[in-house]
Amino acid sequence: MGVDMNEVVMLRGAEPREILETAIEEKVPAIMTYLSKNKWHVTKVLLTNLGANRLSTEIWPKEKPHPINIRINQPVGISLKYGYGKFVFDTTVVSLELSQAPDRQGQSGTIVLAVPDRIEIVQRRSYFRVDVPKSLKVNVLLWHRGLNRVPEPTFWNMDKQEDNSNQASGKRQDYYKGKLVDISAGGAQIALDTAQKPDLRKGQFIGLTFTPMPYEKPLILDAQIRNILPTADDKNICLGIQIVGLEASPEGRGVLQRLCNVVERYFQINQSGAKQQEMKSASGGPNAINPVRNSENRAKPQKGTISNEIKGISEAQRIDTA
């Protein structure tokens, strides 16, 4: 099936069942996301059985045991990567059952879901990180997930000087301002000035918002911090985040479509800039650079940029795997 980079394709009829049967047969891991007590939870699961109206899932065997805080009629989102794309759908929990544990020593829980009548596909390329074009300055506002809202006083004044009254009084700052470094349909990298003394940790869920292009409406997302790395000069920290919850509702998948469009747009802007530099190089211009030989390759950051100063980050870390 031919799919454009920024296109989300919907499958109906017999195709969703075929995809689910293949995932069960080949034991493809899936990610289940759901809200519980106003907090997002992310759990790795295995699809185990497909009935006429029931889809059985179990916690991934290698996953550490942990409470999943899920209930009957709970809406959930499922995503799995297979072949040329990422398959996403939303459904509901119809029952919670006990089943024989894989090691035959005790019982494990089975989460039975309603069989979805449609599954959407996002091409895998949309999940490769794309650098923010050098011509754009994309500010990011992020906050502790417990706020569950965009902090209004700073939302419209992201370029203004930060109010450090909370820091001076010893209180935790609820929001932070940063710069978007790169993005994909599944995650992003954000640079924060350490002068803000960000109170953030790996594994924490946060809210964030940014405007991809000056003329567009802001995107508002939930995410989980996957890593926190300092820059060489210790003036910034870079957050590697995984965007969560978009597959759990039709509205979320509409946001996912927007993210795919942003990835495509940034990619095209970067490619256009690379071609212009290549033409200058061919003509002996002063800003000559090596031509981009493969559209899948990332543009290499220039010396001194935030991207280049991150300690120990590899190319593999900048491709979303969840």
Nearest to 22 by CA among 75, 87, 94, 76: 87
What band does 109 get if pLDDT is binned at 50, 70 and 90? Answer: confident
| Inter-CA distances, 295 with 128, 130, 270, 271, 298, Å | 12, 11, 10, 8, 8
The single-letter DSSP state of residue 162 is P
Looking at every residue in the chain, the average pLDDT score rounds to: 77
**Could you tell me the fold of the domain covering 8-125?**
Pnp Oxidase; Chain A (2.30.110)
**Interior CA angle at 181 toward 265 and 133, to 5°?**
40
Give the CA count within 13 Å in the CB-facing half-sphere of 252: 24
- The residues, ordered by sequence, that sit 6+ positions from 293 with a Cβ below 8 Å of its Cβ are none
What band does 25 get if pLDDT is binned at 50, 70 and 90? Answer: very high
Q: Report pLDDT digits (tens) over 28-56.
A: 999 999 988 888 888 999 999 999 999 99
Average confidence (pLDDT) over 75-102: 85
What band does 104 get if pLDDT is binned at 50, 70 and 90? Answer: very low
Domain layout of the chain by residue ranges = 8-125, 128-318
Nearest to 43 by CA among 248, 250, 238, 227: 248
Give the model's pLDDT for residue 67: 63
Q: Find how far residue 81's CA is from the centre of its chain.
A: 14
Q: Report pLDDT digits (tens) over 268-309.
A: 999 987 767 666 666 555 444 343 333 334 444 444 455 455
Give the model's pLDDT for residue 268: 93
**Interior CA angle at 91 toward 85 and 92, to 5°?**
150
Which tops the pLDDT comparison, 129 or 287? Answer: 129
Burial classification of residue 27, based on how many CB atoms lie within 10 Å of its CB (0-12 exposed, 13-18 middle, 19 or more buried):
exposed
Tell me the CATH number of domain 128-318, given options 3.40.50.300, 3.20.20.100, 2.40.10.220, 3.40.50.2020.
2.40.10.220
Position 14 pLDDT exceeds 80? no
Q: Report pLDDT digits (tens) over 204-244.
A: 999 999 999 999 999 999 999 999 998 888 889 999 999 99
